[in-house]
A and B are shown apart, each in its own frame.
Chain A
Amino acid sequence: MNSRFTNIVLAFILPLLLVGQRSDSLLVELNKREGNERVPVLHQLVVSEWLNYPNLAMTYGEEALSLSEQTNDKPNISKSLRLIAGVYYYMGDYEVSLDFNTRALNLAKEIGDSVLINNGYNNIGLIYYNLGSYQTALEYLLRAKQLKLRLGEVYGLPTTLNNIGLVFERVGQFAEARIHFNEALQASLKAKYQDQEVYSLNNIGNTYLREEQYDVAQSYFREASALAIKIQNINWGAVSLRGLGEIMLHHGRYDSALYYFQKSLDASRGIEDKKGISESFYLLAKLALRQQDFTGALGHLDNSHQLALQLKLRQQLLDNLKLYALIYQQMNDDAQVILYQSRYSGLRDSLFQDVVVRNLSLIPLKLKEEEDRLKMSLQQAEIDKKNATNRLYIIILLIVLPLLIFLALLVRKNIIANRVLRERNDELLRTQKLLIMSEKMASLGTLASGIGHEINNPLNFIMNGAKTLQERIEKRLPGQSDEFAPFFEAIDEGVSRASKVVRSLSHFSKSGMEMTDRCDVNEIINNCLVILNNRIRNRAEVIKNFTTEAVRVKGDEGKLHQAFMNILSNAEQAIEHDGIIRISTEVDDDKVRISIKDNGVGIAPENLEKISDPFFTTKPAGIGVGLGLFITYSIVDEHHGTIKVSSKPNVETEFIVSLPLHTEA
């Protein structure tokens, strides 16, 4: 009883609110402004008037558009176009509205304004919904929803969510529809957008109504109508009233139903909402039919149908034709029933055809969009791939680079190791040859010493035999010894010479003894000359200029013999005939200076620096190995001495050996 009373009061009050005062302050503001500055105010005016006074809204919209176009203010042109599209929408002219919305959307895309693009998607979706292209509608609306969520545009979200719900409701998926309406309700509460709150409540109510859950539906419609009054939203208030009326109609409370429908009609009339008027007449017709008032029903229905035709309200037209058939059926006018039923199916078919045609015409557009999307995703994939490849390259580089560096280091190390190895190998080869050489010398020494022993004993026989013999002769034939003397002297001389040679040879075997020996340089040179005597004698004269005292150096006697032997032997070999070899020794401070000069072929200037190199030789292969002077240099170096060489080929070649003197400790 109580709720019914409230409803009646509500229905009574609503029309009184018809003359809304909301736009007054905006008009005052508009009058204060001039030119372009009017545009934002004009836009607000369009929104505030389009539901109630579409014609007025249209004039505002057109002014805003023309002002924006004069200054080529693209964002405002787009917005004006969209608002005009909205006005057409509320006037039921969906095709024109679609055209304006599309223009607005394209411009929005051109300037890249996300908010405008998103509004475009929403509106176009809504129009397709009204045109019966639900699939397309849903696509646009979902796109709008996505964009809004992404942009965080809380204010526009409830509208889009409600529209999505409407699509589901229209195709009979009430539960799904309700989910979206409820989301819309939550979003409106969050955004404190009460118009959308009323709209959401009405929509939810409608879903319950369709599912014949009348009590639940009623509570939603009541809540909606109460809020509508509060915020003076006549349009949605009228919708609530029609919902309540339908519930009354179901319960068979015809008076109440009539009341609600009548008030709803008044409200819609008051705001020139032709869609609402048409719906109200339709419901009145339904009520009349229930009361078996066929004339009244047809009258109301005619009114509804006229407006529906005018606004091309497709769903309303279909509903109306169905109702006509039902009325005539109850009037038993079969001819009319058949007529309206065929009109119904004809319209349905043509609508279906429209939808198909529209969808077909959308195919290239959608294909292009799809293609663009695909291209973009391909490009993205390409970029991703490139990035991945780059990352891979970097990773590979990061892995490979250290490896390469490591390898390079390894190779470098290897090269160095190789070089060291080669050097060592060369060194080893040199040492080996030297070893062979010194082995030769050593065996020569051993041989010499062996032979020496075997020769010295017979020499002993001769010398001491002769000596004893000489003594005995003197004893037995006193005074006659003079006669024998020259023979004994010859024997003495022979033995002495042979003994000298043997002794000289044996000096070469003395290598390996401690370096503490005191070696007499003069004696060493003499020993060498004894051995070379045979070769020198016929070709050269040896002129010696030695110190009177023995010159002693600390060293290895055998090695020093080798060293001087090599120099003297070279001097000898440089001379072909009539040569002179000058050898002098002199003490110079703490050194002994030994100079060996010859007037042989000499050493070419380019070879002077090489003579100390191992294996350097100017002799034919097989004759000289080129170790002689190298050994000499090594030995002198071991004895802390130096060698200086100068040569004027065929004039004079001089070797100067300096050795530290042995100082008595």
Chain B
Amino acid sequence: MRDLSNITILYVDDEDINLFLFKSSFEPKYEVITARSGKEGLEKLEGYHDKIIVVISDMNMPMMNGIEFIEEARKTYKNIAYFILTGYDYNQEIDKALKTNVIQKFFTKPFVSAEIEAAVEAAFRSVRGA
């Protein structure tokens, strides 16, 4: 069983405040890499895919939304757990993504850190085969 502090999360959101708060909330426990768009997220994945266990993305972003980004990322990086964290409620696109296993879970804003932690740790266990 690996140390939890070795868990690396990629968080993608187009709002700096969200990135800052997410990082502030989870930094003590995990390593958090952030990206401000889907495109940047893919770049970060290219650099840190060996470390990243969980990808959490905002849904509504310019150019490429959360699901589109995750679909693209999934093509190359299959051994990562992908979550959506959205200001929207449940909708059809998310529903479809859940059913087709493009994403494993979705969370709504304002997020409850405990929920996300539980999901991240569960993903860590299943991905790393612990």
Contact = CB atoms under 8 A, between A and B. Distances in A.
B21 A465 contact: yes
Interface in B33-66: 60
Interface string A512-554: 1100000000000000000000000000000000000000000
A498 B25 CA distance: 21
Contact of A452 (B21, B25, B88): B88
B21 A464 contact: yes
A461 B89 contact: no
Contacts of B76: none
A464 B111 CA distance: 7
B89 A464 contact: no
Contacts of B86: 453
B72 interface: no
Contacts of B92: 512-513
A540 to B, nearest CB: 28
A506 B87 CA distance: 11
B17 interface: yes
A282 B24 CA distance: 177
Given A457-B87, A465-B21, A467-B25, A499 B95 contact: no
Given A461-B17, A506-B89, A507-B89, A456 B109 contact: yes
A468 interface: yes
B110 interface: yes
B18 A460 contact: yes
Given A456-B110, A459-B110, A513-B92, A464 B22 contact: yes
Given A457-B18, A503-B89, A464 B95 contact: no
A561 to B, nearest CB: 12
Contact of A453 (B17, B24, B60): B60
Interface residues of B, number: 21
A321 B29 CA distance: 178
Contacts of B89: 449, 452, 503, 506-507, 510
Q: Place the interface of chain A in its size category.
A: 20 to 34
Most buried by A among B15, B88, B110, B113: B110
A506 B88 contact: yes
A529 B77 CA distance: 45
A460 B25 contact: no
Given A456-B108, A460-B21, A467 B87 contact: no
Given A452-B88, A453-B87, A495 B25 contact: no
Interface string A433-470: 00000000000000001001111110111111101100
A586 to B, nearest CB: 28
A295 B69 CA distance: 170
A464 B18 CA distance: 9
Contacts of A465: 21
A452 B91 CA distance: 13
Contacts of B91: 449, 510
A499 B110 contact: yes
Interface centre among A459, A462, A465, A507 (most CB of B within 10 A): A465
Interface of B: 15, 17-18, 21-22, 24-25, 60, 86-92, 95, 108-111, 113
Interface of A: 449, 452-457, 459-465, 467-468, 495, 499, 503, 506-507, 510, 512-513
30 contacts: A449-B89, A452-B87, A452-B88, A453-B87, A453-B88, A454-B87, A456-B88, A456-B108, A457-B109, A459-B110, A460-B18, A460-B21, A460-B87, A460-B109, A461-B17, A461-B18, A463-B111, A464-B21, A464-B24, A464-B110, A464-B111, A467-B25, A467-B113, A468-B21, A468-B25, A506-B88, A506-B89, A510-B89, A512-B92, A513-B95
Given A456-B87, A464-B113, A506-B88, 17 more contacts: A449-B88, A453-B88, A454-B87, A456-B110, A457-B109, A459-B109, A459-B110, A460-B111, A461-B17, A464-B25, A464-B110, A467-B25, A468-B25, A499-B110, A507-B89, A512-B92, A513-B95
